[in-house]
Structure formats: C-alpha cells, structure tokens
Amino acid sequence: MVKNLVRRDIREFDPYKTNQIPYKIKLDANESPFDLPEKIRQKVVDFFLKGPELNLYPDTESTELRKILASYWKVDSDNIVVGTGSDQLIQVIINVFVEKGDKVICPMPSFGMYKINTIIGGGTPVEVPLKREEDFEYDIDLFIETAKKEKAKVVFLCTPNNPTGGSIPKADIERIVKECPNTVIVVDEAYAEFSKESSVDLIFKYDNLIILRTFSKAYGLAGIRCGYSLSCIEMAEELSKVKPPYNISSLSQYIAILTFKEREIIDKQVEYLIEQREYLMRELKKIDKIHVYPSQANFICFEVPDASLVHKKLEAKGILVRSFGNAPVLGNCIRISVGSKEQNDILLKELSECLK
Ligand code: PMP
C-alpha cells in the first residue's frame, strides 16, 4: 500500500548504505583514526558542567563558528553557510537551483550523495565517467562539453575525489567555472586538508562557484555533523534561505569552534596521516595482485582480482573496508581509510594473507 503512495522515482531508489557490523578495525568510511583530543574533550566537559542551556534552541546562524572560519579563510562571515555535515549543503544546493527534470552533472565514480540528492530533489543526474585507465582523472573537456550540451544547472566536482583519491588541478577547476558561467559549480573539498590544495580564493572571482568543506574528515569530527560552504555572498544568501533553521546543535557548534581553535593538533594529525598514506601506498604496491591508484586523500583505492572475496575475508577478521564488488567503472576496487600505523600494519598483513 505505502509503496503505491510513494513517488515513482523514489520507489526504485537505491539509498545510501552504511556498515553497521561489529569490527576490530574500521577503515571503510574515510574517518580519522583520532578521536577528540584530550585537551578539547576536557573543555567540552567544562562547558557541559557550566550549563550549555540545552533548553534553548542553538544559534541558527552559527555566528561564532562562521566568524572564526571567516577569519581563517580571509573572507566575510556572510560568505559562509554552515550545514549538518556537507551532506546537508549538497541537498540545500539542489533545492535552491534544481527544478524538476533539470540536469545535474555527477562525476562517476564519486560521492554517491550528489546523485541521490539530485534524484530526491526531482532533478536528473547526468553521469560523466572518469577514466580508469588514466588513474580516474577528470576529463575536463568532457565535463564542460556535457554541462553545456545538457544545459546543466549544477556540476559537482570532488577533489580529492572520493572514492578514487586523485585531485583535480586548480587550473582545470577554474576552466570549468569560467567556461560554464550559467551553471553552479560545486567543488567538494571534503578531503582537501590531505592534498593541501584549495580553490576557495576563486569565490572572489566567480559568482557561480561553491566550495564545500567538512569537519568530518581531517578534523575527526564526523560524529558532530558539521560542514560549511564558501561562496560569494549572493550565493550564500540563497543557500541560507533554504537551510533548515537550528541545523547545528549547540554542542556541535561548541566542539567545532574549540577544535578549529586548536588547529595545531589537527595539523599534526594530518601530517601523520599523509605519512601513513605514503607508507601504505609503498607497502600496498609491494603486494602481488594489487594495483594501487594515486591518492591525495586520507584513503586509498586499489584493485584486486576479486574485491568481494577480499572484503569478505577481511570482514571475517574484523577489518572493515569498502568494496566496490562489480560496480560499474569501479569493479574489483577496494577503498581503505588511512588508519594509525598499528591499524595499517594489521591491514597490510591480513590483506597479503587474503591474496595468497
Ligand atoms: N563529500 C564527500 C566527498 C564525502 O566523501 C563525504 C562523506 N563521506 C561528504 C561530502 C559528507 O561529509 P559530511 O556530511 O560528514 O560533512
């Protein structure tokens, strides 16, 4: 009965799936292995004991958080909109710009929520493939050509790209933004702390550009659900109109502010994870039967002869990784988050065993 009432496009809809099984080592969701640093944790406890007035709604504009982010990025607070994770901002962008049947360009493979939110919002995703034989590089000409041909309302770009790991050169991003002035170009920089490249400064040059950042990855705060966009002020005002009120809880705002102020700790963690990424890349390449794709992120994508089998064997040992089984373009690829040295060594050992 319910099924008959549901929108036709949602009936056949394939939702975002996550793993909820017991594990020893979790390397399947590009999370940080570092939980909240002790110094910050203690301040959160103090804040809680003083009474955060949880009976009151939080600041709907995340004023304080936007202020410190603005001073870091050398922009105005009004250039920034804060979302319940960057996930929410992807949804907000679709709601602001996409009407029924409008085309949205989604890289393929990339983060699944671009396509999912497009469908939920009534738009039509147009997938532009990345070339596996060229390390999943973005074909910039193809993106521009498709955006123009389809009169796309929105183009999503992800750099470094999840799940493949490679970055898009900034000059290429600028070319797309410049050559598609009637399309909103969203550059998802969820993992950019690990590539140390950003296009944020381009928001002063182009009004059709939105950059997305998150506290979920480098900042190790996936649990507080907090991300933000940077764009020209006019664009930010439109996004703010649609953003749900009170979308960031008082505690999340407080933890995000504290952690951002203690960025030195985070910077050290990022350096550690970059070193571990390079270590893992080197060691993975030594294992027979594995082809490793380049990564500038906190995760690595590689190919094995039978990804579903390797996934199953690792899972049986309590190690969670993301397998793309026989997915289009990504067939037999596995993606692992870069963990602590100890976690990475266990993974390397068990993976070699699985492939013997
Ligand atoms: N963008 C990309 C590329 C991601 O991989 C993710 C999370 N996996 C997100 C955005 C969403 O992040 P969050 O909602 O936690 O900010």
Instruction: Give, for 288, the enclosing helix (H) or strand (E).
Output: none
What lies within 8 Å, CB to CB, of 142 at 6+ separation is 128
Domain chopping of the chain, boundaries: 8-35+263-355, 38-261
- Which token pair is 137? 């590089």
Question: Ligand 1 pocket, 158 CB below 6 A?
Answer: yes
Strand segments (E) across 203-298: 209-214, 227-231, 291-292
Q: Is 112 in the pocket of ligand 1 (CB under 6 A)?
A: no
pLDDT reported for residue 356:
85
Is 85 near ligand 1, meaning CB less than 6 Å away?
A: yes
- Spatial distance between the Cα atoms of 116 and 91, rounded to a whole number of angstroms: 9
**What is the pLDDT at residue 12?**
82
Whole-angstrom Cα distance, residue 278 to residue 27? 16
Mean per-residue pLDDT for 217-222? Answer: 97
pLDDT at site 21: 86
Using pLDDT thresholds of 50, 70 and 90, give the confidence band for residue 1: confident
pLDDT confidence of residue 326? 84
Any ligand 1 atom below 6 A from CB of 222: yes
Q: Is the CB of 87 under 6 A from ligand 1?
A: yes
User: Does residue 58 register a pLDDT over 90?
Assistant: yes
Q: Does domain 38-261 have CATH number 3.40.640.10?
A: yes
Band (184; pLDDT cuts 50, 70, 90): very high
Is the ipTM, as predicted for this complex, more than 0.90? yes
For residue 84, give the ligand 1 atom closest to its CA: 14
- Rounded to the nearest whole angstrom, what is the distance from the C-alpha of residue 288 to the centroid of ligand 1? 32
Which pLDDT belongs to residue 51? 82
Of 162, 211, 301, 338, which is best to mutate to test ligand 1, by the most ligand atoms within 8 angstroms of its C-beta? 162
The domain 8-35+263-355 belongs to what CATH superfamily?
Aspartate Aminotransferase, domain 1 (3.90.1150.10)
DSSP 133-161: GGTTB--HHHHHHHHHHTT-SEEEEESSP
Query: Which letter does DSSP use for residue 211 in this model?
Result: E
Summarize the confidence of residues 131-157 as an average pLDDT.
97
**E strands, 30-117, in order:** 80-83, 103-108
**Mutation choice for ligand 1 from 16, 167, 188, CB with most ligand atoms inside 8 A:** 188
* Residue 337 beta carbon below 6 angstroms from any ligand 1 atom: no
50 CA to middle of ligand 1, Å? 32
Write the pLDDT tens digit of every residue in 302-338.
999 999 999 999 999 999 999 998 888 899 999 999 9
> What pTM, to 2 d.p., does this model score?
0.96
Q: In the structure, what pLDDT confidence band is assigned to residue 282 with cuts at 50, 70 and 90?
A: very high
Closest CA to 118 of 241, 10, 236: 10
267 pLDDT band, cuts 50/70/90, is very high
